[in-house]
Amino acid sequence: MKYIIGIGGVTNGGKTTLTNRLIKSLPNCCVVHQDDFFKPQDQIEVGEDGFRQWDVITSLDMEAMVNTIKGWAENPVKFARSHGVAVSPATEASDPEKEIHVLIVEGFLLYNYKPLLEVYDKCYYIAIPYDECKKRRSTRNYTVPDPPGLFDGHVWPMHLKYRMEMEKSRMAIEYLDGLKSRDDIYNQVHEDIQNTLLNRL
């Protein structure tokens, strides 16, 4: 059984923290990070707002991301092994159909690209308010540091634009309160996934 989970949300909302904990606790679990699909810096346009457009969907090679997810769907065992994920061996008696393989897709624009919308079995979205997001963002060290004014001039406006777009699509997304403790968020999601997996077996 193959199961694909989307963990989306605002920048610095806690997506990667949650994902890293889930990887350790879910069976045969691989992950695809959207951040791995950013185009090279010289291909990122400078917008009318004066900033390089890192927070828009065109800054990402979404086609490559979709192909990576398809690669997992075609052969989760091969994908896992090529990414250094140990796959629990199937016993002779076990039914391969009952073997669970989980893929977590993690990123800030997961629910705004049509070809991806069909792949998820479960969608989560971590939300935090503006003040908290700005505070967290300012304490992070990025390879390319944020220029002054980037958060208010580009990051947050793009977040609001894409969030509105996502909400209009009426996808079945479960919203998580990013102000809750990391443990609370993890427990809520882990329990939810475990119940779903049990019901599908």
Task: Give pLDDT, residue 71.
Answer: 96
CA 10/CA 108 separation, integer angstroms: 6
Q: Which of 35, 95, 152, 184 is catalytic?
A: 35
Task: Give pLDDT, residue 142.
Answer: 76
Task: Give pLDDT, residue 91.
Answer: 44
Ramachandran class of 28: left when φ > 0, alpha when ψ lies in -120 to 50, beta otherwise: left
Please classify residue 49 by burial: count the beta carbons closer than 10 Å to its beta carbon, then call 0-12 exposed, 13-18 middle and 19+ buried. Answer: middle
Yes or no: say if 142 and 11 are a contact pair by the CB < 8 Å rule: no
Strand, coil or helix: 37: helix
Task: Give pLDDT, residue 170.
Answer: 84
CA 132/CA 128 separation, integer angstroms: 6
Q: pLDDT tens digits, residue range 119-135?
A: 999 999 999 999 999 99
Task: Give pLDDT, residue 96.
Answer: 62
CA 19/CA 115 separation, integer angstroms: 22
Based on the residue annotation, tell me whether 42 is a catalytic residue of this protein.
no
Q: Are strands 101-107 and 29-33 parallel, antiparallel or unpaired?
A: parallel
Task: Give pLDDT, residue 95.
Answer: 63
Residues of the chain with confidence (pLDDT) below 70:
89-97
Yes or no: say if 103 and 32 are a contact pair by the CB < 8 Å rule: yes
Alpha helices in the chain (DSSP H): 15-25, 62-74, 76-82, 114-117, 130-138, 150, 156-168, 182-200
Task: Give pLDDT, residue 113.
Answer: 95
* Amino acid in the structure at residue 145: P
CA 37/CA 40 separation, integer angstroms: 9
Residue 193: alpha-carbon gap to chain centroid: 15
Which token pair is 69? Answer: 């997810």
Task: Give pLDDT, residue 93.
Answer: 45
